[in-house]
A and B are shown apart, each in its own frame.
Chain A
Amino acid sequence: GESVGLHLPTLSVQEGDNSIINCAYSNSASDYFIWYKQESGKGPQFIIDIRSNMDKRQGQRVTVLLNKTVKHLSLQIAATQPGDSAVYFCAEMGDNNDMRFGAGTRLTVKP
């Protein structure tokens, strides 16, 4: 299994900088990918999604990039704010409805 909590990869950025969080997914047949944000004591919160027929999707201050060749997903957060500090999970879903979550990355924003 994958680890969360104490052994999470960590990314520390300065407030106002851009953040890039990376994720390698496992199933080349996955059709759908989602990024979630989880704050302490809360459930995962949907940020942005992308289907396998796209390679880029933009939201408000966030962009998801999908590279199916190398099975890589990234989340870019523009002008990172202290409120963005959280654990970020990527998730993949195939046609069996089984959503698989990555290990998560802890983002810390320094003021």
Chain B
Amino acid sequence: DSGVTQTPKHLITATGQRVTLRCSPRSGDLSVYWYQQSLDQGLQFLIQYYNGEERAKGNILERFSAQQFPDLHSELNLSSLELGDSALYFCASSVGHSLEPQHFGDGTRLSIL
């Protein structure tokens, strides 16, 4: 058990809809990272927050947004969903903000019908 909790485990929705994925980092970790894992793109870094502030941005679409709250949990919002957004979405956390291991949750599987 990594200590990172993601909810929900599975999400099924339709094109055009909006969903929110939630992540609770390990106790004491200040950084939260979001990744997308799909069959044709592998694990892709989306965005990082450190102590409530955006720290780094990867291949995140404009339709996607995230935030980290004062209690350090994070939410990833996906809107105007398309079939191609179907993937596993992982959250990871670390103590600091760079050059250290990231510990992953077990992901949210998003299926767009």
Contacts and interface: CB of A to CB of B under 8 A. Distances in A.
B25 interface: no
Contacts, number: 67
A1 interface: yes
Interface of B: 2, 4, 33, 37, 39-45, 48, 55-56, 58, 90, 92, 97-107
Interface string A1-13: 1111110000000
B101 A49 contact: yes
A17 interface: no
21 contacts: A1-B40, A1-B41, A1-B42, A2-B42, A3-B42, A4-B42, A5-B39, A6-B39, A31-B99, A34-B101, A34-B102, A36-B104, A45-B2, A46-B101, A51-B99, A95-B98, A97-B97, A98-B56, A99-B102, A101-B43, A103-B42
Interface of A: 1-6, 31-32, 34, 36, 41-46, 49, 51, 89, 93, 95-104
A80 to B, nearest CB: 23
Given A43-B2, A98-B45, A98-B58, A3 B102 contact: no
Contact of B99 (A32, A102, A104): A32
Contacts of B105: 43
A27 B4 CA distance: 29
- Identify the interface centre among B4, B42, B104: most chain A CB within 10 Å of its CB: B42
